[in-house]
Chains A and B, each alone.
Chain A
Amino acid sequence: MKVLSCNRFATTDGLIPSMRPVVVLCLFVAVFIGASRAQERPYFVTYSHEMEEPGNLEIEFFSVLGKPPAGNRFIGSNIEFEYGVTAWWTSEFYLDGQITQHDSTIFTGYRWENRFRPLLREHWINPVIYIEFENTSADKALREVVGHDGRDDFLESNAAARQDKERELELKLILGSNYHGWNISENIIAEKNLSNEPWEFGYAVAASRPLSLAASAHNCTFCGEKFQAGAEMYGGLGDRYSFGTHLTSHYLGPLINWEGPNGMTLSFSPQFGLNNYSIPRLYRFGVSYEIDQLFSRFHRGAP
């Protein structure tokens, strides 16, 4: 699982216009409905095998700030609505947008993904099947890197990039383990543009651990159990005709998150491009807010 929010997009133009109703809804939900705490992993790209709790809705906002050499600074963002359908099935809907300096602020599309956990008990390694459909254009949220994605993709103007509609099917095999407080997660990614383009491949790996494994006996806001730290690495692996690391981009960075009061989690990660094909630095921010037992709140006898 990952992090994000209902925040205002950081732009001098204000909110991305088509996302305003969504943000207003998020604020309403955040103000009027109670929250729970879910021990979020601090990952931005990598998925862990941990599913959303059944009946809970998590609203998340992720942003990535970057500047390709010879290109304009950008902020790619998405709002995610993650719902635990059952203990072994999580469904998530994303709305994406981006802002490019000296260019424009645009809504870039949507994604819908489902995660299924085939083994219903905890093992030393736990697989999860991930299936996503996305319909985006000019997307800069960088939620995954596949194929030969690289910094040159960020040099095109928004007007030109929007001409290229990407209707894609994305499959992931998520593998996760918990060991002595550590979570170690690996994702193997295969993505297919449904127009006649080859399968592209990528990977993401991450590990994290709470700063304190035991909980404090007293209420606290900044104690060790409220923080998780770790590292994440991800990149492309070429496509069906040119599999490998030649002309692919890769990123590595530390991660930290803080579980604040009232079900809110903040995350941050500076990430560094590992070769000349990558954007040199990315800064990722996330806010998430979890609402417990969403539908139970709308009928009598709710907990």
Chain B
Amino acid sequence: MIRRLSLALVLVLAPAAVMFGAADGSWMRNVPARDHEKVSPYGGQDDAIAAGRRIFVDRCSHCHGEDAEGTKKRPPLKSERVQHQATEGDLHWLLVNGNMKKGMPSWARLPDQQLWQVISYLKSLRQ
């Protein structure tokens, strides 16, 4: 009986664990070293942060919240993972490729310059 219950518990929890694992930044393991090391050409420039904020509000805020605080279904971007664990290059890789199995679309439709501007804005949120 206990064995059956354990099996049922594993079957129920395994998919949930996979989902949490994916939402736990597992995408970062897929970033190639070359992309991981990329650095924003804009650094912390005020104009780039302001432009990135505009792009974020237009294109990202309906999923991630007006101030990147996250919504019911989508993660916050003020998190430890985005602000400290992920490099600018990691975030650029994620924006270009998306995480389509988990609902994050590719934003390769935006020019590279605009992607870096968004990343400048996101990284400015930790201050």
Contacts and interface: CB of A to CB of B under 8 A. Distances in A.
Among B48, B100, B104, B110, the one with the most A-chain Cβ atoms within 10 Å of its Cβ is B100
A294 to B, nearest CB: 11
Contacts of A122: 96-98, 106, 108
A48 B61 CA distance: 24
Contact of B109 (A36, A183, A218, A225): A183
A87 B109 contact: no
Contacts of A88: 100
B3 to A, nearest CB: 37
Interface string A4-32: 00000000000000000000000000000
A50 B72 CA distance: 26
Given A36-B59, A213-B114, A292-B62, A303 B97 contact: no
B100 A87 contact: yes
Interface in B76-102: 96-101
Nearest to A37: B58
Contacts of B112: 180-181, 213
A51 interface: yes
Nearest to B64: A303
A-side binding surface: helix, strand, loop or mixed? loop
Nearest to A52: B105
B113 to A, nearest CB: 4
Interface residues of A, number: 36
Interface string B39-72: 0000000111011101100110111010000011
A175 to B, nearest CB: 14
Contacts of A53: 105
Interface in A48-91: 48, 50-51, 53-54, 84, 86-88
B70 to A, nearest CB: 9
B37 to A, nearest CB: 19
B51 A214 contact: yes
A84 B63 CA distance: 14
Contacts of B58: 36-37
A54 B103 contact: yes
Among A180, A216, A217, the one with the most B-chain Cβ atoms within 10 Å of its Cβ is A217
Contact of A37 (B59, B98, B108): B59
B51 A87 contact: no
Contacts of A87: 98-101, 103-106
5 contacts: A37-B58, A121-B97, A181-B111, A181-B113, A293-B62
Interface of A: 36-39, 41, 48, 50-51, 53-54, 84, 86-88, 117, 120-122, 178, 180-181, 183, 210, 213-219, 225, 292-293, 296, 301, 303
4 smallest A-B Cβ distances: which pairs? A87-B100, A214-B113, A213-B111, A217-B50
Given A87-B104, A117-B100, 12 more contacts: A39-B59, A39-B110, A86-B100, A87-B98, A87-B99, A87-B101, A121-B97, A215-B51, A217-B47, A217-B48, A217-B50, A303-B63
